[in-house]
Structure 1
Amino acid sequence: MQKTEKTIRGVGKLHIQRSERFPLKKAVSNFIENLIELSAKNAKKHISLAEYATFCYGELQMHSIIAPAIAKLTNCFIMEYPIRRGISDNSGRVDYYCINEVGTAKEYNLFLELKCGRQGIPNENFRKKNIELWHEANKQLEGISQEIQQNKDFYGKTVMRVCMEVIVLYADTSKGEQIKSNILQDALNISVDTLAPLGFVPNLNVLWEFHPDIVEKAVDEFNNSRQFWGLLFLCRVMRPILPE
């Protein structure tokens, strides 16, 4: 596994883990890393203006920092893209459908499915609900492969799929525990170690460790004793569906 770190001034640190190699894996991973970095900058701006981490409350709110980042990085995209997840399913949707690298030899279609969960820290176990969300995202994206293969003329280019589960890391201030970088990194490792043996192995994982100024301001507006410390982005870049 390849591990790197990146510091973003006023935003915090990104701790990045990459594994697996296959066609377009690097290009898609680069896109997702850039997406996470821009999303973090969007989140920092929101916290600076509102003094609340509103994006931390669920999937619908998380779109508010991710969608603007995607708009800057992709050639074009559609949210809530309608697509069947099997012969009998006419109502399926994928959170984001993007067309990237238009006009180049690397042009590809990207389907991105987003799920959001929470995790208290320090932690020894990954929440069962977070595991369920991970399985749901992967099953949903695996289910669209038949539709894509049946409509080769429409999609035309290589199709890539990415499952992304964003986990909000929070601590209860009433317990008086000191939260340091190693505790956040432990949360990342516990998450990956829990999911890997269960199938659908995450192969691109990023911990955004909040800058201290963000931690100070990012209080849960519905629970004053809950402090947000970072976000985990657990991602699985799936193998390509190649055009014939």
Structure 2
Amino acid sequence: MQKKEKTIRGVGKLYIQRSEQFQLKQVVSDFIENLIELSAKNAARHVSVIEYATFCYGELQMHSIIVPALANLTDCFILEYPIRRGKSDNSGRVDYYCVNEVGTAKEYNLFLELKCGRQGIPNDKFRKRNIDLWDEVNRQLEDVAQEIRQYKDFYNKNVVRVCMEIITLYADNSRIDKIDSDTLLEALQISTNTLRCNGAASPNISVLWKFHPNIVDKAVDEYNPRRKFLGLLFLCRVMPPILPTRNL
């Protein structure tokens, strides 16, 4: 497993873990890492302006920091992309459809599905709700493979699917003094270990964003003033690509 750390002035620190290697994994993982970094900068700017961590409340709010990052990183993208899922051919939507690296040998289509959960720390158990969300996001993206193969004239480039679950880490004010970097890293390790042992596919790029102290101080929980937000976990699975020359 590859590990690295990155400090972003005024934003905090990113702890990045990567595993697995297959075609396009490096390229897509680099994209996801850049997406997380830009989203963190957007979030920090948001908190500095209004002093609320609105993005922490769920998937719909999380779009507010991710979409501006996508606009900077992709050649083009569509939100809520309509698609057919699974053998029953049910209609559905994927959160983000992106076209990246256009005009290069690395050009690929990206389907990115997002789920959001919460986790109180310190805690030695990963919430069942968060496990269920991980299973759901993986199942949803597994099911879109049928359309990709069926409409091969449209999806005529490499297609990569990425599952992303973002977990808000919070603690009661009375426990803040006991929370340090090790506590946050332990939350990351517990989450990845739990998903690995759960039998589903494991994350192969995981990032902890430890909030800068200024963000922790300013980011008020509008619904529970006894809590403080301390960071975000980005648990991601880059699926092996569907290759037009081999699989279609």
Q: Could you say which TM-score interval applies, normalised by the shorter chain?
A: over 0.9
2:229 and 2:150 mapped to 1: Cα distance? 44
- Name whichever of 215-224 and 30-39 sits farther off: 215-224
Q: Supply the AA of the counterpart residue of 1:109.
A: N
1:174 Cα deviation from its structure 2 partner: 3.3
Q: Are the structure 2 counterparts of residues 169 and 149 from structure 1 closer, same or farther at C-alpha, using a change threshold of 3 Å?
A: same
Q: Partner residue of 1:92?
A: 92
1:200 Cα deviation from its structure 2 partner: 1.1
1:87 Cα deviation from its structure 2 partner: 3.7
1:228 and 1:73 mapped to 2: Cα distance? 27
Question: Is residue 2:23 matched to residue 1:5?
Answer: no
Q: Supply the AA of the counterpart residue of 1:178.
A: K
Does the residue aligned with 1:119 lie in a helix, a strand or coil?
strand
- Name whichever of 176-185 and 211-220 sits farther off: 176-185
Does the residue aligned with 2:163 lie in a helix, a strand or coil?
strand
1:89 and 1:129 mapped to 2: Cα distance? 27
Q: Partner residue of 1:204?
A: 205
Unaligned runs of 5+ in 1: none
Q: Partner residue of 1:233?
A: 234
Does the residue aligned with 2:171 lie in a helix, a strand or coil?
strand
Q: Supply the AA of the counterpart residue of 1:15.
A: Y
1:176 Cα deviation from its structure 2 partner: 5.6
Q: Partner residue of 2:126?
A: 126
1:89 and 1:64 mapped to 2: Cα distance? 31
Does the residue aligned with 1:154 lie in a helix, a strand or coil?
coil
1:89 and 1:177 mapped to 2: Cα distance? 52
2:33 and 2:225 mapped to 1: Cα distance? 32
Q: Supply the AA of the counterpart residue of 2:105.
A: A
1:138 and 1:87 mapped to 2: Cα distance? 16
The percent of aligned pairs where both chains have the same amino acid is 73
1:91 Cα deviation from its structure 2 partner: 2.0
1:86 Cα deviation from its structure 2 partner: 1.7
Q: Partner residue of 2:103?
A: 103
Does the residue aligned with 2:90 lie in a helix, a strand or coil?
coil
Does the residue aligned with 1:22 lie in a helix, a strand or coil?
coil
Q: Supply the AA of the counterpart residue of 1:199.
A: A
Q: Partner residue of 2:184?
A: 184
Q: Supply the AA of the counterpart residue of 2:228.
A: Q
RMSD: 0.9
Residue correspondences, number:
244
Unaligned runs of 5+ in 2: none
Does the residue aligned with 1:155 lie in a helix, a strand or coil?
coil
1:9 and 1:56 mapped to 2: Cα distance? 21
1:229 and 1:36 mapped to 2: Cα distance? 16
2:6 and 2:225 mapped to 1: Cα distance? 30
Q: List aligned pairs for 1:1-244, cutoff 5 A.
A: 1-175=1-175, 177-197=177-197, 198-244=199-245
Does the residue aligned with 1:139 lie in a helix, a strand or coil?
helix
TM superposition score normalised by structure 2: 0.97
1:153 and 1:90 mapped to 2: Cα distance? 21
